[in-house]
Structure 1
């Protein structure tokens, strides 16, 4: 538990831009339970999830039978010299733990750690919105990804829609009510929610016009232009403002669902979150830390164990991966939560 806490508070939270107040020791009056607002709304960052796992490793890890079996499950395989690249669609990996035995733990964890995740925002990968929980049409083994997905299923369950419905099922307050509850001022316009200059649709677009969602420009992590359709983009401009689409759906800022408003906010500088989500995470992880009498910084037995037996909890996630797989530590990012 101490190792997990150490990684969470020393690596994961800083990587997400969550900076907690300095630890002052155990507080018996601090409630360390998970808040409903956190579990139901705040912790949901599904937009960061890729629609596939991408990894690259030595070709001699796998036999031809392994490669054939992975191809048969829908994994895309590209052999480049003495290395192999695997692209595993999320719906192939989902509910398929035996796949990990064939792919192997080391390459899987290394691949996850080396790949940048999507920006935490209002967009969610189509694999989570159309494929993950699926009712397939008969005879569709090729329906794994791509533009033909709508013809592949009789019905789908959209994870983004579930995120919104979950909030309603749990009686979550509206977006503005939740902002007030966390000490933030309510937003008075849709443009104020998104940080955009306008909440009006440009001529020739509208809420029922699909071209309002067209991308008009893309840039990579360094701000360089990326051709439309390429995978390296991290920022974008659409034909219509997000604020206009929210206004057309909700009509009033006071009717916006907490989840929808939260993910539409611009990020606080140095953070993966907008104001509301950052406030929710900060309060929750501070409570989990301060209200836990066994938190690693408050547990004197950990120091005794280290000095008496040489067992130390202070390990990075990269060190734990290297110790439990055949991936050398030098092949991993020092902080695997930061791709590079």
Structure 2
């Protein structure tokens, strides 16, 4: 007997006894539909750099954190630990079955703990379907930089005469966290785990880099604001009040930068300009810039558990920097740069790559982010990385071998190939235990009760699907991918949303198919139009933005375009190149904490915005002096 809170685990097809088949194991879907492992990682984008992927992960951690259930005293749960010859029967467990003969995993069980259940939003304790939590603010508000609660922000802020700054540790890194927050190996005893507004900061090097960047950028802006303030001799406030003002003003500018880069440059590359216009997501268009007070700007379950996980297909199999490291004999050259590589499985939760010497390999690592290519979405059937030049034109792959001078062409294959670093070695420990990220995405969607793929197509205006023939007659999937789906699922209605969405042909100008594109577009619509603090909005319904014209003139030139596109635009904007800021070392004295609480009101509901009282803005005359602040060294 199924319970209303049970995960989605059964097919709509019955066997001869009237029992419903179980859905195929998530690992089988990963291997059979999503392409399995791409060990050599040959399929690299000719449009986007690794920063395109890294920004997406950083952005995701600003909006979504779904906690999993815990045991006694917040202990992690191991659902594959056998007791008396049997796996534990617990409501928190939803183990993944590993098919016999798997090439990587020998155990028949892969640990999977269900997401923590949430109480009903209306406050009534009545039987209802299971809902999940979001532990961070859903708005794009820099919560991964500043935290989602007053207590977290208190941990991250400096105090005393430097209370306008975020804390730094060592050579201008974010503050140190407990050693349990990451993996510190014996040969790296002088290194430390990073602490940030989001607890996942140490997960992978490219993510930690984004956090370092924005801590330094906040402190740079805040120091510049304080410098301009002193020059104009505005000392009628106490030092504490002035520093609070500088902190909040700098925070406001940082949030605006994140919003601007996301909507102006990153999101259009994901969903295409057609949907940017349809869902009123463009910047600098009055008809797209309005506040909707009735909009609920929380995160959709389907967005967090399926659609926005598309970015996992962009993850490269290594992390790199352009320094010849004698301890790491793996090199490759691209764009006249020589890069040292580390397999992704060797850097999960290890901060050592950015702390190699006194100041860290930050400049060298940033070169990799902005020079090298992310994994690509449309894949040519064959590609020799070292000898072949490839172009995609008119849905055909054009190959030119620079050694043999042979030219060939073939069809574009939209078969996904996730790197084996995340299909076979995700979070691998010293015992070789690991996980499969695409399989976890499938299982997480089932855990959250996300309906099958055919139930979501209508969001994109696609025709209903009733059988396999309907899918074959449509234009959303290649015959190759349809055959893979048919071999894996017993019914077209069994297809998991993640599997069906990831195998769709991409929308024009985007890197996802129409179903995911519409879910993502709708989510970013409510995040923009349901945010009364949106950075573009000067006035609405009596509310006046704290972003003055001067601040807008600071933010408007900011661009990541040359950092997420392999081929820079012919005419560059007045471009600050955010990535290059990392090399500008701001020397900041860490002041001991004082026992003074930050006066921030947090609305109890987990998905509501952290409300912070912002001191009136600095005058236009003063802020105009700040315009060059991002491009000048402090």
Task: Give TM class, smaller chain.
Answer: 0.5 to 0.7
Match of 2:445 in 1: 167
> 1:315 is matched with which residue: 540, 558, 563?
558
Q: Distance in 1 between matches of 2:337 and 2:512?
A: 37
Of stretches 186-195 and 277-286 in structure 1, the one that deviates more from structure 2 is 186-195
Q: CA deviation at 1:251?
A: 2.2
Question: Using a 3 Å threshold, how does the CA distance of structure 1 residues 79 and 171 change in structure 2: closer, same or farther?
Answer: closer
For 1:104, the equivalent position in structure 2 comes to 361
2:492 alignment partner in structure 1 = 253
1:47 match:
313
Alignment of 1:35-74 (within 5 A): 35-45=300-310, 46-56=312-322, 67-68=325-326, 70-71=327-328
* Aligned mate of 2:547, from 296, 302, 306: 302
- Spell out, residue by residue over 1:233-252, the C-alpha distance to the aligned partner (whole angstroms, 9 max, x if none): xxxxxxxx222121011121
Q: Is the 8 A contact 1:3 1:314 kept in 2?
A: no
Which has the higher mean CA deviation after the structures are superposed, 89-98 or 103-112?
103-112
* C-alpha deviation, 1:324, in angstroms: 2.7
- What residue number does 2:509 align with? 270
1:186 to 441, 450, 464: 464
Could you state the TM-score of these two structures normalised by the residue count of structure 1? Answer: 0.66
Aligned length: 253
Contact 1:2–1:313 at 8 Å: present in 2 too?
A: no
Distance (Å, rounded) in 1 between the aligned partners of 2:333 and 2:262: 36
**SS across alignment from 2:263:** helix
Q: Distance in 1 between matches of 2:318 and 2:456?
A: 33
8 Å contact kept, 1:54–1:115: no
The equivalent residue for 1:212 is none
For residues 305 and 315 of structure 2, the distance between their equivalents in structure 1, rounded to whole angstroms, comes to 18
Structure 1 residue 320: Cα displacement? 1.7
Range with greater deviation from structure 2 (280-289 or 173-182): 173-182
What does residue 95 of structure 1 align with?
Answer: 349
Q: Would you say the 8 A contact 2:321–2:341 is kept in 1?
A: yes
Larger radius of gyration: 2
How far has the Cα of 1:3 moved from its partner?
Answer: 0.6
1: CA distance, partners of 2:517 / 2:502: 11
* Structure 2 unmatched ranges of 5 or more: 1-254, 281-287, 378-414, 539-544, 564-576, 586-634
Give, in angstroms, the shift of residue 183 of structure 1.
Answer: 4.3
Give 3-state SS (helix, strand or coil) of 1:86's partner.
Answer: strand
Alignment pair present for 1:15 and 2:260:
no
1:105 Cα offset (Å)? 1.7
Deviations 1:207-231 (A, max 9, x none): xxxxxxxxxxxxxxxxxxxxxxxxx
> Does 1 or 2 have the higher relative contact order (CA < 8 Å, sep 6+)?
1
Task: Give SS of 2:375's match.
Answer: coil
Change (3 A) 1:185 1:131: same
Which whole-Å CA distance do the structure 1 matches of 2:559 and 2:486 have between them?
44
Instruction: Provide closer, same or farther for how the CA distance between residues 83 and 119 of structure 1 changes in structure 2, counting only shifts above 3 A.
Output: closer
Change (3 A) 1:79 1:31: closer
Q: Distance in 2 between matches of 1:254 and 1:312?
A: 47
Shift of 1:33: 1.0
* Closer/same/farther in 2, CA of residues 290 and 252 from structure 1, 3 Å limit: same
Mapped partners of 2:481, 2:507: distance in 1 = 18
Mapped contact 1:122–1:260 kept (Cα < 8 A) = no
Cα RMSD for the two superposed structures: 2.8
Name structure 1 gaps, 5 residues minimum: 60-66, 138-152, 198-240, 328-340
Which position in structure 1 is the counterpart of 2:421?
127
Q: Deviations over 1:105-149 (max 9, x none)?
A: 222222122222223363211110011232555xxxxxxxxxxxx
